[in-house]
Amino acid sequence: MSWKDEYQRKLISINDAAKLVQSGDYVATGLGPGNCSSDVYNAILARYEELEDVIMFDALQIRASRLLNPEFLVKSYGHINHQTGYGHKTVRKTYQHKLCDYLPSNVVDCHEKISRRASIFIAQVTPPTKDGYVNLGLSNFYTIDSISFGKASGKLRLAIAEVNEFLPVVNGNNWMHVSEFDYFIENATPPLIVPRSTPTEVEKAIGNYVLELINDGDTIQMGIGGITEAVVAGIEGKHDLGVHTEMFPIGLPELIEKGIVTNARKPFHKGITIATFCLGEQSMYDYVENNPACQLYPASYTNNPAFIAQHPNMKAINMAINCDLTGQITSEGIGSRMVSGVGGQLDFMIGAQLSPGGFGMTLITSSRKRDDGSLISSIVPDLPPGTPVTVPRHYAQFVITEYGVADLRYKSITERAKALVAIAHPDLRGELRDSMKKNFFPGFVSDLVLDK
């Protein structure tokens, strides 16, 4: 049978695909732009009364569906429940109501955890090439590995591809053959556009400190957000930077156009920016489409700390919610309230620390405003009970706020506390100093000694 005949034989409608879900199934989808469409989500969710104990797993929820609606999840509870590995802001309301479960995993091994659970996997792909290969478009991440590992173990019953002609073809190890899927759905939906952020003055201040730690020839990893935009805007004057990252930085095209990013000094994939997914504006999607200098690979490759560590002068740049006075960093939530997920932060922090000349940077605004307008410090004496530690303190190095840089790696916990108080919000340092005196010093030590 030719691949074209095989493709036609496997082609089904959205409603027929939804009917393949059985009670007890664990239905996983690709990350972010690789998620199935809202049409497929909602066709499955429409059957909730017929089903029992179905889990829908996704990550980086960027498509609207009833899976993000707390009222619907109350009705569907026990029939179809939601689980995620990397929470986007769209799931914070369902997190708050305990209607979205969380699967703890680093990016480098998330495929292994998914492949042990998933009975059905759904991914978006491009139309087949003349040779019968489909491209994963903007999101590789755990898709290839989850399907191949799941099929090899016999756990994965069905692999379903949603063919989307609007997806750009992105080079790299980003291809699968028609024969690797059991069914195809044809459904064209434009990729979601995520506009670039405008950095605030605080984010610009943090970005300036980051720029002081980046040198010509460094390889960098950074994600999305206002601080990243501040770094991109201020990085003029740097030369021959390399990019090995989890997500293509939104400012990548202009960095390459200006000759700031050349990837010329990387020991692997010279001249090529490596990532595992892409999310941004249409101009970004147009730039990466069929561009040999921008390639996507499975996250088991891009986020492998051992591979990251082989890049000299690797600089990992990530954001966080809180940091305690010993250097424990959290980016996932506060107490039992989930906000996001660990993502690749720990993968790159470990890899960067093991890289010759490399290190990790944790970026954090010194404070946040409560609803009543009062300030709460992001540098805290202790993490609230139940708070997950995203980066253990022995992997913390540079913690950066708008008030400066604390280099923690070679400091004791007492020395760390003093360094972190020095970059906290000035109005909140008194409380932190009182806590530091109580928790880190004997009672007879005076303020004069602490000031040294």
In this structure, are residues 349 and 385 in contact, taking their beta carbons and an 8 Å threshold?
no
Q: Beta strands of 13-95 (E only): which ranges?
A: 26-31, 54-59, 80-84
Four-point Cα dihedral 240, 246, 248, 250, nearest 10: -100
> Among the CATH numbers 3.10.690.10, 3.40.50.720, 2.40.10.340, 3.40.1080.20, which is that of 201-440?
3.40.1080.20
Q: Beta strands of 35-79 (E only): which ranges?
A: 54-59
Per-residue pLDDT tens over the stretch 383-409: 999 999 999 999 999 999 999 999 999
> What is the structure's pLDDT at 443?
84
3-186 architecture in CATH? 3-Layer(aba) Sandwich (3.40)
- Phi/psi of residue 337, nearest 5 degrees: -90, 110
Q: Among candidates 367, 450, 423, 448, which has minimal Cα distance to 435?
A: 450
Q: How far apart are CA 285 and CA 406, in angstroms?
A: 37
Q: How far apart are CA 178 and CA 165, in angstroms?
A: 15
The pair of three-digit structure tokens given for residue 108, joined into one six-digit string: 């480098």
Amino acid identity of residue 451, one-letter, is D
pTM: 0.95
Which one of the listed residues 162, 203, 229, 246 is annotated catalytic?
A: 246
Same fold, 3-186 and 201-440: yes
Phi-psi region for residue 154, left (φ > 0), alpha (ψ -120 to 50) or beta?
left
Per-residue pLDDT tens over the stretch 87-125: 778 888 898 899 999 999 899 999 999 999 999 999 999
In this structure, are residues 360 and 398 in contact, taking their beta carbons and an 8 Å threshold?
yes
> What is the structure's pLDDT at 452?
66
Angle subtended at Cα 390 by Cα 387 and Cα 395, rounded to the nearest 5 degrees = 130
CA 48 to the chain's CA centroid: 29
Q: How far apart are CA 42 and CA 12, in angstroms?
A: 16
> What is the structure's pLDDT at 278?
96
In this structure, are residues 159 and 134 in contact, taking their beta carbons and an 8 Å threshold?
no
Domain regions of the chain by residue span: 3-186, 201-440
Whether 246 is catalytic is yes
Regions of the chain with pLDDT less than 50: none
In this structure, are residues 179 and 375 in contact, taking their beta carbons and an 8 Å threshold?
no
Q: How far apart are CA 107 and CA 300, in angstroms?
A: 7
